[in-house]
Structure 1
């Protein structure tokens, strides 16, 4: 009888020990998973999925579609006169351009893209550290870089080149929509502009 109690005690002890170890491992795995989720949520708060209407949804990094996605989010922040959001998105834009993979292009295209990236990173960094008027000045130059990039990389989606004749002797920007929502003037002159061309 005492042998049976002893065996039973050992079995119960073993079961409890294994359960505790299993729970501990599971907790570690859960923490790892939660860490990934919080990282994803951090990305979300940086504007990739900012709760506002997104113009384009792409996954992955290092491609021109990711850069375009971040650009459209930045444009939307300027349309909304949101200086703080535009600052956050300026940081994201700089990173997106730095991560742009140019390895699959010709040597001439690589040279063009490297020049575009260098200038776009500089414009994005200025946007991340400026008042909204200054952000809009740099957004004009950033938009030129984006238009030049799309001329090399193309776009998986139809985009529209829009043009405001009033801002700084005329300024272009890209959008997924023909609807004019002016990032250079925001609420002051929201509908100032026209469609210049459609890019497929």
Structure 2
């Protein structure tokens, strides 16, 4: 039993050391000039309401990157309203069903973000990011997006960005550059 405990303790120390060096960010810079993202829509399917959802998502992400709980609350509410006004009528029946589920789930998470502390906002942002990624899979975009991945947050978590440069919304200034580009979407 002592050997097992010692092995587990050693493993935990190695993982902790690896984690702190792989994602440690001595540079605690903030993302400044957080302006609304400019996303081009794919001709045909994606409309202005899908564009509004993406822009609101990226603005919310930037607020979390900047550790701005108050702004994230406001932007969570803005995103919830954009999601509620999303129009899936231009999509196939199967896409409509899938979009309805995505929108319902994403709206719930955006609403939680609008009333939570930053730790809880980040928990909901994880699922919200999955929902928005699923939405983009259906609606498409002409703008190159980057699915980025942080191995440290909650067993590994992804989010979308319009820029290749890593700015981690799950840790903000604590580990601003923790992550990697997992894939490009376009």
Normalized against structure 2, the TM-score is what?
0.77
Q: 2:146 aligns with which of 160, 164, 175?
A: 160
Per-residue Cα deviation, 1:83-140 (whole angstroms, up to 9, x for no partner): 0000000101101011111000000000000000000010000000000000000000
**Structure with the greater alpha carbon radius of gyration:** 1
Q: What's the Cα RMSD here?
A: 1.6
1:56 and 2:42 matched: no
Superposed displacement of residue 64, structure 1: 1.2
Rounded Cα–Cα distance in structure 1 between residues aligned with 2:38 and 2:133: 16
Q: 1:129 aligns with which of 112, 115, 118?
A: 115
Contact 1:62–1:99 (Cα < 8 Å) also in 2: no
Contact 1:159–1:176 (Cα < 8 Å) also in 2: yes
Residue 64 of structure 2 corresponds to which residue in structure 1? 78
Residue 166 of structure 2 corresponds to which residue in structure 1? 180
Contact 1:58–1:69 (Cα < 8 Å) also in 2: no
* Runs of 4+ with deviation above 4 angstroms: none
Q: Secondary structure at the match of 1:86?
A: helix
Q: 2:136 aligns with which of 116, 138, 150?
A: 150
Residue 38 of structure 1 corresponds to which residue in structure 2? none
Contact 1:182–1:191 (Cα < 8 Å) also in 2: yes
Superposed displacement of residue 175, structure 1: 0.3
Q: What does 1:1-200 correspond to in 2, within 5 Å?
A: 52-56=34-38, 63-200=49-186
Structure 2: segments with no counterpart, 5+ residues: 1-32, 42-46
Q: Secondary structure at the match of 2:184?
A: strand
Rounded Cα–Cα distance in structure 1 between residues aligned with 2:35 and 2:153: 25
Structure 1: segments with no counterpart, 5+ residues: 1-50
Normalized against structure 1, the TM-score is what?
0.72
By relative contact order (CA 8 Å, sep 6+), the higher-ranking structure is 2
Superposed displacement of residue 52, structure 1: 2.9
